[in-house]
Structure 1
Amino acid sequence: MLAEPTVAGGAVRREWARFTPAQRLARFGVFLFIVLATVAALRTVDIIPEFLTDAPQQMADMLTRMWPIDFAEFQRGAGRAMLETINIASLGTLITLVMALPVGLLGARNVTPVPALNWLAHVILVTSRSVNSLVWALLFVAFFGPGPLAGTFAIAFRSIGFVGKLLAQSLEECQPGPIEALQAVGAPRTSVLLKGYWPQVKPAFWSIALLRWDINVRESAVLGLVGAGGIGVALQNSMDFFQWDRVALILLMIFAVVVFAEIAVNIIRKKMI
């Protein structure tokens, strides 16, 4: 910012300032709010100093118990549980795509110019995103009982908000030229969707689907902690019985699958887009 010119010995001298007084006041207000929020959080969080002092010793003791890793647990059931986790994530993602597609179409204002339907779609999308996957899992465990079915529906319902919102945004960003040309020649609504909108949103759609599958693989690994099937069940059982060598194997498997999923998603995305 260039400040008002000042006169020194008959010569005009200009002073430069990085921020205006209003900007400096706003920055001070933001920093003050952050400090006050941090202080309030530290006062409300119940931190026991005794637990902090011996935390390094406890961590070292746990790591000692995790070694050597019990690789035999893979044959006894951990491998099957991990495969179940991948199946939960994959099937849940497929169900998500089926359910999120109509919701995304209703949420796009240029595709569905009906405010009531747009509002209904956004309520569904916000509801899906606002409930954590573990909470969805608890609900479906109560409906269907413990098992992978509850985990699959938890993953599906949690992902609708993510996929549907991004799909609706992609539809709203489409160029209107091809759509108007199709409508001008009297093309039916289905042809407008398939020939006008779909070619423009296709790269974004597959990117969204692959990214969501990658996220679902990570989330499904912990759903078993509340009885929704998968590797989380084996992890919870091993922790309950203090079998830390098996816990180490399960954590290693989760890490390996997450890395593999990341690599696979990148490769598939390059091939398809």
Structure 2
Amino acid sequence: MVPAGDRTGLIAGNVEAAPALRAAARTTAATLRGVPDLLWALLFVAMLGPGAATGSLALAVHGAGLLAKLCAEQLEAVSPAPVEALRLTGSGRMATTALAVVPQAAPGLASLLLYQWECNLRTSTVLGFVGAGGIGQELAISLRLFRYDELSTLVIAVLAVILVVDLASRTLRRGLGAAA
């Protein structure tokens, strides 16, 4: 078992990664999520120029650090009984992870991934204002040109996409066996 103090690691303790790999992953993920996505966007705009790829890269970098921590915590929160049962039968790390840890955590992992996608959709509207492209850039242009009909259509489109992602998340989680 993993000591309670080690449960906030970015690589799940019950997956038994090598200590050096776990430490490197923790440091990397903490660095990635420690810098706000807006700052990542400003850095990438300065390095790569404005555009949608810049915004996507900023969201990906920040989201990777956040998801590393949250997914590791989901993997660590699984019931230890099936994990221990497989270990006692002689299963290796990969088999134990694939057959006991991941299936239990699958609904939570799916929910986290879909929620991060939803957050990225909302954040992309802000990043466009700093030159990171995407729908936010279209919103900024509509706002600057006083095209309020386009602006309202874009806002409604963002809300509709978020509602669809929320519905997809509930449906997927229910399909994976999460509580209703």
**Shorter-chain TM-score: what band?**
0.7 to 0.9
Pick from 231, 236, 239 the counterpart of residue 140 of structure 2.
Answer: 236
Deviation digits for residues 185-204 of structure 1 (CA, Å, limit 9, x no counterpart): 33232212111211221121
TM-superposed CA distance for 1:258, in Å, is: 2.6
**Do structure 1's residue 133 and structure 2's residue 37 form an aligned pair?**
yes
Q: Which runs of 5+ in 2 are unaligned?
A: 1-7
**Do structure 1's residue 111 and structure 2's residue 111 form an aligned pair?**
no
Superposed CA RMSD in Å reads 2.6
Inter-CA distance 234–120: structure 2 relative to 1 (3 Å threshold): same
**Do structure 1's residue 182 and structure 2's residue 68 form an aligned pair?**
no
Q: Give the aligned partner of residue 5 of structure 2.
A: none
Q: Give the aligned partner of residue 259 of structure 1.
A: 163
Pick from 104, 110, 121 the counterpart of residue 206 of structure 1.
Answer: 110
CA distance in 1: counterparts of 2:38 and 2:48, whole angstroms: 15
CA contact (8 A) 2:10 2:29 kept: no
TM-superposed CA distance for 1:136, in Å, is: 1.5
TM-score by length of structure 2 reads 0.77
Q: Give the aligned partner of residue 126 of structure 2.
A: 222
CA distance in 2: counterparts of 1:264 and 1:199, whole angstroms: 19
CA contact (8 A) 2:125 2:139 kept: no
Q: Give the aligned partner of residue 75 of structure 1.
A: none
TM-superposed CA distance for 1:148, in Å, is: 1.9
Q: Which runs of 5+ in 1 are unaligned?
A: 1-103
Inter-CA distance 186–200: structure 2 relative to 1 (3 Å threshold): same
Within 5 Å, which residues of 2 pair with 1:159-170? Answer: 159-170=63-74
Deviation digits for residues 25-70 of structure 1 (CA, Å, limit 9, x no counterpart): xxxxxxxxxxxxxxxxxxxxxxxxxxxxxxxxxxxxxxxxxxxxxx
Deviation digits for residues 188-221 of structure 1 (CA, Å, limit 9, x no counterpart): 3221211121122112111211221222221122
Counterpart amino acid of residue 212 in structure 1: Q
TM-score by length of structure 1 reads 0.54
TM-superposed CA distance for 1:167, in Å, is: 1.6
TM-superposed CA distance for 1:106, in Å, is: 5.6
CA distance in 1: counterparts of 2:81 and 2:155, whole angstroms: 51
TM-superposed CA distance for 1:147, in Å, is: 1.9
- Percent of aligned positions with the same letter in both sequences? 38
Using the TM superposition, name which of 210-219 and 238-247 deviates more: 238-247
Count of residue pairs the alignment pairs up: 170
The secondary structure found in structure 2 opposite 1:146 is: coil
Structure with bigger gyration radius: 1
